[in-house]
Amino acid sequence: MPLELPEDFNEDDAPQCQGIEQAVKRFENVMLSRIYVQQRLAERLKNSIRIGMLILFLLAIAIFVLLLTLSIQVGRVGVVIVDMNENFINISENMMHINHYMTDMEKQVAFLPKIKNKTLVFDQQMALMNNDLFMIKNNMREMSGHISRVQLKMNEVSESVRQMDGQVQLMNHDTYRMSKPANTMEKFFPF
């Protein structure tokens, strides 16, 4: 845009006006470059704000998802804590049972020396019984030998009785044969 000269302008003032005109042009250039820089800064600021808003939006979504996940997990954690409490109650009851069993075991362990003494007595009695059984076994062997000998004797007696029976049979037969003539005479002499 050309510079308008005032009406009372004089030619002698022209070099001064050129200097002023150059100064104004320089000032205008400085102002234009400053405006350009400010526009670029404004554009950068606007982009930075947009990116910041986008980051804040994404951060808000992430926080919302995190809070949603946490609220869901809180319910699950509550259920797990209730289960853990039940398990702790069960463990406590089991520990009481174990404590009771341990007390019973201590009482039973106190009987071990007495049981050991009784076991020693039983061992001694078992040794005596084993000795007696050994003696009974030997006696049974001897009795078996005696029974075998008695059986042999019984067999011999049986054989002797059989032979005697045979002899008695023969004697009976002989007596009958010998008594036949007497029987015949008895028929002749009935008195």
Rounded to whole angstroms, how far apart are CA atoms 118 and 111? 11
130/132 Cα distance (integer angstroms): 5
Which one of 62-66, 70-74, 78-82, 180-184 scores highest in mean pLDDT?
Answer: 62-66
pLDDT at 7: 57
- Note the pLDDT of residue 109: 83
- pLDDT tens by residue, 118-149: 888 888 999 999 999 999 999 999 999 989 99
Above 70 in pLDDT, residue 113? yes
- Residue 17, C-beta contacts closer than 8 angstroms, at least 6 positions apart: 3, 5, 9
The string of pLDDT tens digits covering residues 52-61 is 999 999 999 9
Cβ-proximal residues to 21 (8 Å cutoff; 6+ apart), any chain: 3
Residue 24 contacts by C-beta under 8 Å, 6 or more apart in sequence? 3
b/e per residue 12-27 (b: at least 16 CB within 10 A):
eeeeebeeeeeeeeee
* Higher pLDDT among residues 139 and 5, named by residue: 139
Judge contact between 42 and 24, C-beta under 8 A. no
pTM, two decimals, is 0.34
Mean pLDDT of 158-173: 87
Residue 29 near residue 17 (C-beta atoms within 8 A): no
Amino acid at 173: H
Q: What is the pLDDT of residues 17-51, one digit of tens each?
A: 787 888 889 999 999 999 999 999 999 999 999 99
d(CA 95, CA 89): 10
Least confident among 7-11, 73-77, 186-190: 7-11
Q: Is the pLDDT of residue 95 over 70?
A: yes
